[in-house]
Structure 1
């Protein structure tokens, strides 16, 4: 696969953002601010962004984009060099219809989605040679139409869907860094996804299951902090059994880093409170399923998954 990976134009690329919520608008906004030709697929926020642009309130410095390339459909955008998928995985069934008008012969598809399985889904639909994954370590929320609030962090880790990094992987990382986005390259995308689950599973899950608590409230409760740590250990140990080595020292570093976020509401809690569908299967169900089919038991994840199913109805 990797010898055949297409190398698109990343000097003056045409970029489409599919999923213009917090993640898509934040990273797409930074690229556009740097002068990249970025086109945003917008639905509910289309009129507001068309009229007033995009506003990012950031711990790294606020910025506004008065003029934004807004589109209601991907046919209007047309072929691009890079397609960034930032929609929730709960809406993935729309991608087989949305993405084809954006594809040229060398178009890359970068998914910034959470959990496990989105890379595989896109590879099945559009070919593994097109697909890369990105892990976003960032605290951001959409707080209004066309308004994004960035609280902390912002790093992206990039990897190829089925192989080691390619020249295009490193070129894409350099393009991100040139736009002021902290970005690195992962040798193994799936290992990186398991590493992100070490944070996402406990904090996104317990924020809902424990009664709508932000990260500060979770860590202020000794019982909940212990549960966070036990879930993290179970995920790391399971990942190791599946061939993805993650150091146990990550537990302490992630917990301490989370303390610095103050009262951050994880994205799943924001979705839950807004009445939107939560990514139950990709964040909690899929790692549980992958463990079970290889005979690995994850009792702590199973318990949290069952609690979430009840809370989510």
Structure 2
């Protein structure tokens, strides 16, 4: 009962098996008029109250964690000292009441979750997603008999792509961008006839990065071929390379020392970071950071948004995430052909 009172006992016929259902009631069923309350059996009533007690303890624990986060001494904005002194080298740590944090820097953002440990120290755990490629799609009414592919985060030359007209991988891939050019041709989109594409194959292959992170990278990521079907109900595709997939997340434990927040790295990054100049986190800043974290930080979600320019001004469009498959590929059997987007000559050589 919702008011906590015991329901009146009734003499009801038992179920066909002669005993109460074996499936235990969930939290919602405890507060509803569940089968447990309908049987004249003290043991079942005791079991129901046990479920209620566990549920209330869980709820209280969640609210206590939220309250503790909201009142923590660590909430605020910090400047991270990395040297440099110019705007492009500025790095900031933002610890939010929601239990999330963000590190912002020129051109990017790192996100994660935080908590205050029983010993009073701060723990930061970076969001990490070990998936290299995310593909999103939508129906674009402006496209008639063609399919558009947009590539994001692929300009280092490590991403390889193949568009298949027939089912099956043909062991031929091309770099999305040329790895040896300093300036790339305008745009990162390509349009192909709809009849020529039935599948999309993607591979991340950056030998320099693999050697750089050899000690920490998960071996299961090596030479994985991602395949996605090109569904005819979509004609506008967005392909995103998650560059951080090959790296282990950065986790830290911190504490205040002489008024500054010191972060001690754990795992593959044991460095110490000095966070200084703590200031209050304003409400408008918090809202803006939360919005930015949904777009740029952490794991990629089930949707992706983009802004297009129409006659009436900018319009937001939504892409749906597509499910793909992965398989190991023998790079020795793969032929790499010319890049999809060749590099232009450097501007000073013209």
Report if TM-score (shorter chain) is over 0.5: no
Structure number with larger C-alpha Rg = 2
Q: TM-score range by the shorter chain?
A: under 0.3
TM-score (normalizing by structure 1):
0.24
Higher helix share: 1
